[in-house]
Amino acid sequence: MSHDRTLLDELCSQCLLLDPPDAVLRPGGVTEALEQQERDEQSAHSANDALRRTASRLQVEAQRRRVIADQKASAARGSKQKKIPANDHDGRAMRNLAKLTGKDAYAGKLAAQMSQRAGKVEAQRAEIAVKKRYETGIWVDGASFMPRDFLLRLPAGQLPLGGGRALHFPDLAIGGTSRIALKGANGLGKSTLVRHLLGQLQVPMEKVVTVPQEISAEDSRALLEAVKALPNVERGRVMTTISRLGSRPARLLESALPSPGEVRKLLLALGIVRGPHLIVMDEPTNHMDLPGILCLEEALADCPCAMLLVSHDESFLEKITQTDWLLAKDAAGDTRLEIKTAR
């Protein structure tokens, strides 16, 4: 059981995808399985839409024919009330012919048949399993590109890491639309570097969204209470963002303590409604299930501001970032940062 797509793709020949009450076993790794699931869902939605249009067309036609049948029946009743003179042989012949052919009854029969066809199509629709789709992705209403070219320009230098070690870095820059992945093994100084960068930014901190790797239960509870206390309009915008990140707002607001994954979504949502210039996330996919990770990917992919993401999730970073800042240990045991244009 895992949410690590790289691992699952490399090791698995089948994946069991759980979406209560359904459990579907699909061939291949998780990427292949999810792609097939998306194709199947799209096919079901297309078939459902086609049947819905057909049923609607048949219902409109059935209603049209019912109107015609009612008009003919009304006309027939009117003609019966009129006395036909004994010498009006043509009139009597026409009335008798109408009785024989039963045109008004025939029109009603056609309307009933059309209505039955519409009912059969609706029955076919009911047999198609169509999964409800929630709107995903985030439209960052207040977000804007930085008015200046760079949020950060930092000359080459070094930072102490303790134990006589240091982190050496070249000239660093974060532009208004930079998408940077900070990578490296644990203990190489990623968190130290991020803290240093935050202190050197050339942008107001209220325009910076920071989501740390771990958040205490006390801070999580306080964050949720702060969200609940927001004015209705602002709370509604935050909850809309939460929904598009794959969580159900009502369930979150009813909880006493949000899960670690929901706390990260709350922090991100609160920052997004402010129109950020920079989003900094430390291990953004930690504590999130796979659907939540996919929603986060879609959200960040559409975001117009700069991003600095610290993560080991290669699949996640590949979808979003364009530049790698790679930390590695040198022969002397120090950490050195290398910049690489990844994608």
Long-range contacts formed by 110-114: CB under 8 A, 24+ apart: 110/65, 110/69, 111/62, 111/63, 111/65, 111/66, 111/68, 111/69, 112/62, 114/58, 114/61, 114/62, 114/65
- pTM for this structure? 0.70
Question: How far apart, in whole angstroms, are the C-alpha atoms of residue 232 and residue 224?
Answer: 15
Question: What is the model's pLDDT at position 67?
Answer: 83
Rounded to a whole number of angstroms, the distance between the first and last alpha carbons of the chain is: 30
User: Considering only CA atoms, which of 283, 246, 247, 285 is closest in space to residue 4?
Assistant: 285
Structure tokens at 163: 């134990």
Q: Report the distance separating Cα 180 and Cα 173, nearest Å.
A: 10
Q: What are phi and psi of 248, to 5 degrees?
A: -95, 115
For residue 159, the model assigns a pLDDT of 96
**The pLDDT value given to residue 33:** 86
* Residue 166 contacts residue 157 (beta carbons within 8 Å): no
| Confidence at residue 161, expressed as pLDDT on a 0 to 100 scale | 93
- Residues with Cβ < 8 Å from 76, sequence gap 6 or more? 98, 104
| CA gap 99, 122 in Å, rounded | 35
48 by Cβ neighbours in 10 Å (0-12 / 13-18 / 19+) ranks as middle
- Counting other chains too, the contacts that 103-107 makes at CB distance below 8 Å and 24 or more residues apart are 103/72, 104/69, 104/72, 104/73, 104/75, 104/76, 107/65, 107/68, 107/69, 107/72
CA–CA separation, 115 and 107 (whole Å): 13
Burial of 41 (0-12, 13-18, 19+ CB in 10 A): middle
Per-residue model confidence (pLDDT) at position 100: 42
Instruction: Return the CATH number of the domain spanning residue range 150-341.
Output: 3.40.50.300
Question: Could you read off the pLDDT tens digit of each residue along the chain, which spans 343 residues?
Answer: 777 788 888 888 888 888 777 888 999 888 888 888 888 888 888 888 998 899 898 888 888 888 887 777 776 666 555 555 555 555 555 555 454 445 556 666 777 888 888 888 888 888 877 776 655 556 545 445 555 678 999 999 999 998 899 999 999 999 989 999 999 999 999 999 999 999 999 888 889 999 998 899 999 999 999 999 999 999 998 998 898 888 889 999 999 899 999 999 999 999 888 888 999 999 998 888 888 888 888 888 888 889 999 998 988 999 899 999 999 999 999 999 999 986 5
